[in-house]
Amino acid sequence: MIYTVTLNPAFDMTVYLDELVKGDVNRSIKSLIDIGGKGINVSKVIKSIGGESIALGFLGQENRGNFTKQLDRLGIKHDFIYVEGETRTNIKLVENKFDIFTDINQKGFGITIENIDKLFEKIKYYARQGDIFVLSGSLPEGADNNIYFELIKLLKNIGAITILDADGEALKNGLLAKPDIVKPNINELRMIMDFKDDLNSIASVGKELISQGTEKAVISMGGNGAFYVTRDKILYAYPERVEVKSTVGAGDAMVAAIAFGESKNMEDEEVFRLAVSSATASIIEEGTKSPKLENINKLMKKIKIERWM
Ligand SMILES: Nc1ncnc2c1ncn2[C@@H]1O[C@H](COP(=O)(O)OP(=O)(O)O)[C@@H](O)[C@H]1O
Ligand SMILES: O=P(O)(O)OC[C@H]1O[C@](O)(COP(=O)(O)O)[C@@H](O)[C@@H]1O
């Protein structure tokens, strides 16, 4: 089974404007709200590509009904720990005039030691050898920067496969526990490592991640494509030019496809093609909507992947 663990989920409010004028009253053209947060999006996309997952993590007690109603509507199984306060709302601004995408992610609820203990208990209860656990997103206040490190250690001992998508100290510390797969975007990578801007330097950083003990590293670079790095090869995917409606959730769509591909024992190149196709199909949808399977399938035939090394 695939499990997603989201410690800090969110409602994503996407607001479409012509242009944001700072310090003035701005009126939106339209806005929409989707359930989001990294692991939640992963569960949504797994569902779209025909897989099953169980979403775990924390949800705010105060607005839990709105959130779980959406999960149920999408047919996503879930078993959250409800904590005091409400699940945050993140603002995603899209300025149509310039194609500028701006995210304002809030801090969200705080959690207690008891909440964290419950999470570890729940994960111990579910985890079996061969299960896939996706650990992703920012940490709520009260969670130690070592939490992904601890969870990866626990899951590896059980024999589960771990996929990490985090940033800052949580990513840096999490990597020390040697997750099986890591999916940083270029900005997340820059927070923890020094490297030049050219593709060869970025590919070398991928190799460095592998030499530190991670089995596979997928480095996403937004409109510049992505690298897929393993012990014996580096693949590069060219970006596909599409009409971008919202970039939110592109990385999560990639992680979803990677988890799905691992669960089906797909070959590296096939997983990577599915990952890039899913990410590209997600940016042509508005808000934090999942990609459509028919678009993923069309893109699978178009995405250009080459062996870099
Ligand atoms: N503007 C874009 N044009 C084409 N492809 C894109 C664009 N933005 C994202 N993608 C695709 O989605 C993948 C993930 O996007 P990225 O922005 O790097 O992830 P994240 O959401 O984690 O920041 C990229 O590697 C690329 O394949
Ligand atoms: O937990 P964080 O780092 O604040 O990120 C949460 C945000 O990231 C998202 O999961 C999107 O992530 P990606 O664009 O990296 O795929 C949004 O749904 C959510 O608002």
Distance 138 CA to ligand 2 centre (A): 8
Q: pTM for the full model? A: 0.97
Known catalytic residue: 252?
yes
Q: Whose CA is nearest to atom 19 of ligand 2?
A: 37
Tally of CA atoms within 13 A in the half-sphere of 149 that contains its CB: 14
User: Domain map of the chain by residue range?
Assistant: 2-19+30-307
Q: Which ligand is nearest to the CA of 168?
A: 2
pLDDT digits (tens, 9 = 90+) for 134-155: 999 999 999 999 999 999 999 9
Q: Is the CB of 90 under 6 A from ligand 2?
A: yes
pLDDT digits (tens, 9 = 90+) for 245-294: 999 999 999 999 999 999 999 999 999 999 999 999 999 999 999 999 99
Q: Whose CA is nearest to atom 21 of ligand 1?
A: 251
Nearest to 55 by CA among 88, 9, 116: 9
pLDDT digits (tens, 9 = 90+) for 48-99: 999 999 999 999 999 999 999 999 999 999 999 999 999 999 999 999 999 9
Q: Is the CB of 247 under 6 A from ligand 1?
A: yes
159 vs 161: CA distance, rounded Å: 7
Nearest atom within ligand 2 for CA of residue 136: 1
Q: Considering the domain delimited by 2-19+30-307, tell me its CATH architecture.
A: 3-Layer(aba) Sandwich (3.40)
Nearest to 181 by CA among 200, 155, 144, 199: 155
pLDDT band at 216 (very low <50, low <70, confident <90, very high): very high
Radius of gyration of the chain (CA): 18
pLDDT digits (tens, 9 = 90+) for 37-52: 999 999 999 999 999 9
Range 147-174 burial, b when 16+ CB lie within 10 A, else e: bbbebbebbbeeebbbbbbbbeebbbbb
Q: H-helix or E-strand containing 297?
A: helix 293-302
Mutate to test the pocket of ligand 1, among 42, 243, 280 (most ligand atoms within 8 A of CB): 280
Q: Is the CB of 285 under 6 A from ligand 2?
A: no
Sign of CA dihedral 194, 152, 290, 111: negative
Nearest atom within ligand 2 for CA of residue 252: 16
Residue 233 confidence (pLDDT) above 90: yes
Q: Is the CB of 57 under 6 A from ligand 1?
A: no
Nearest atom within ligand 2 for CA of residue 90: 20
